[in-house]
Amino acid sequence: MNFRDTMLDEYKEILKTYINDQTEQALYMSQKFSRKSIEYKISPEEMISLHKTSIMELEPELSESLLLSLDILLEVMMSYGLAYREHQSLRTIQRELINEIEVAASMQQTLLGTQIPRIPSMDIGAISVPAKQMSGDYYHFVSHENGAISVAIADIIGKGIPAALCMSMIKYSMDSMPEDSQAPGDVLERLNRVVEQNVDPTMFITMFSGLYNPETHIFSYSSAGHEPGFFYHADTGVFDEMQAKGLLLGVDKKTKYKEYEQKVEVGDIILLMSDGVTECRTEEGFLEVDTLIGYIKKYIHLDAQDIADKVYKELEYLQDFQLRDDFTLIILKRTS
């Protein structure tokens, strides 16, 4: 039978039990009753009316003034009832929005997808995890016809949907980059013009662009205000910061980007990251560079992808599994 048909009897029973002896049991029953009445969309004003009807049937001798007071209570509850119903409908709308964002996030994953190149001399691994549903981090690989590999990592200052939309534009420009402009400085200069023309002036993008030549084993790179990467020298066991100067994308359309070069020996490792890695916060404050290097050292003997995955796991644990910023880490390890 429907709850609406039986609720008067149920409620009267609870009321009677409580009036006779004030047990916790009756109070517990009324809590259960209220859950059910919410489930069946009984409004607050209906509850007052139900209460009035019940008490009138149970206690016919009840004072008139007490019963009249319930009319005022019912009237006062009207606005609460409306607010409650509005809340219900807003919740439905919220659920729809969340669903839409989920669809958009999975579209973004497809749209921004990039293949990690496989070449004999270099082992490459990458991990990118968004803090919210939509990521403002982006990385991209290109395998050129001459065997060279381009790598780019970008971070939009700002998060969420606006950052994600902006990312799509960067991806599109990278894809339509001519094959002859592989030099990292040229790539940044082109993208800088695109961003400067098309993006809201309050939105900035940092980007690191690199090119590895498997013939000469030279890694050339340029940076547009991006988090510096690390270079690990296998022979000395030393980590160097790969400092590179350059203005953020989208500030000045005439910006030129200086190119730097680094010879990569067997066993050397290039680590590129977004600020979600270095600015990872713990209870004790920001992550120390030494702590990060410690984790990398711990896993340095593994494959590139395993290093990236393990370091992420460690930092995730360190932050109690709550990412505050999008996290991207790329590892390039020369194997032969």
Query: Binding residue for another protein (CB under 8 A) from 7, 11, 37, 45?
Result: 45
**Contact region with another protein (CB under 8 A), list: 69-77, 108-116, 132-140, 176-184:** 69-77
Using CB under 8 A as the binding rule, whether residue 82 contacts another protein is answered as yes
Beta-carbon contacts of 173 under 8 Å, excluding residues fewer than 6 positions away, are 190, 191, 194
Rule CB under 8 A: say whether 279 interacts with another protein.
no
Per rule CB under 8 A, is residue 266 in the interface with another protein?
no
# of chain residues touching another protein (CB under 8 A)? 17
Binding residue for another protein, selected from 14, 37, 52, 229, defined by CB under 8 A: 52
Window contacting another protein (CB under 8 A); options: 26-34, 89-97, 152-160, 264-272 = 89-97
Tell me which H or E stretch contains 262. strand 260-263
Q: In what order do the strands lie in the sheet with 238-242?
A: 122-129, 327-334, 269-273, 229-233, 238-242
| 218-224/229-233 β-pairing | unpaired
Query: Residue 134 corresponds to which tokens in the numbers above?
Result: 């939509």
3-state secondary structure of 71: helix
- Report how far residue 108's alpha carbon sits from residue 111's, in angstroms, rounded to the nearest whole number: 5
Nearer CB in complex with another protein: 8/27: 8
Shortest distance, position 160 Cβ to another protein, whole Å = 21
Residue from 13, 46, 314, 316 binding another protein (CB under 8 A)? 46
Q: How far apart are CA 101 and CA 279, in angstroms?
A: 26
**In terms of CB distance, is 46 or 316 closer to another protein?**
46
For another protein, the closer CB: 98 or 111: 98
Does residue number 55 form part of the binding site for another protein (CB under 8 A)? no
Q: Does 85 bind another protein (CB under 8 A)?
A: yes
* Residue 310, token pair as written in the block: 């393990």
The CA distance from 100 to 86, in Å, is 21
Instruction: Tell me which residues in 93-152 interact with another protein (CB under 8 A).
Output: 93
Interface pick for another protein out of 89, 110, 176, 336 (rule CB under 8 A):
89
Query: Residue 34 or 88: which CB sits closer to another protein?
Result: 88
Smallest separation, CB 37 to another protein (Å): 14
Q: Is there binding between residue 74 and another protein (CB under 8 A)? A: yes
201 DSSP assignment: T
Binding test (CB under 8 A) with another protein, winner from 9, 86, 252, 261: 86
DSSP-derived 3-state class of residue 68: helix
Does position 57 interact with another protein (CB under 8 A)? The reply is: no
Say whether residue 20 binds another protein (CB under 8 A).
no
SS3 10: helix
Rg (CA), the chain: 31
Q: Which two tokens stand for residue 77?
A: 């509850």
Which range in 40-48, 182-190, 225-233, 314-322 contacts another protein by CB under 8 A? 40-48
With binding defined as CB under 8 A, does residue 288 bind another protein?
A: no
218: exposed, middle or buried (C-beta count within 10 Å: 0-12, 13-18, 19+)? Answer: middle
Q: 240, 320, 315, 226: which is closest to 277 by C-alpha?
A: 315
The SS3 call for residue 106 is helix
Q: What angle in degrees, to the nearest 10, is found between the helix axes of 3-20 and 24-39?
A: 160
Out of 66, 83, 97, 98, which residue is the one contacting another protein (CB under 8 A)? 83
Q: Is 65 in the site for another protein (CB under 8 A)?
A: no
Nearer CB in complex with another protein: 70/293: 70
Which residues contribute to the site for another protein (CB under 8 A)?
43, 45-46, 49, 52, 71, 74-75, 78-79, 82-83, 85-86, 89-90, 93
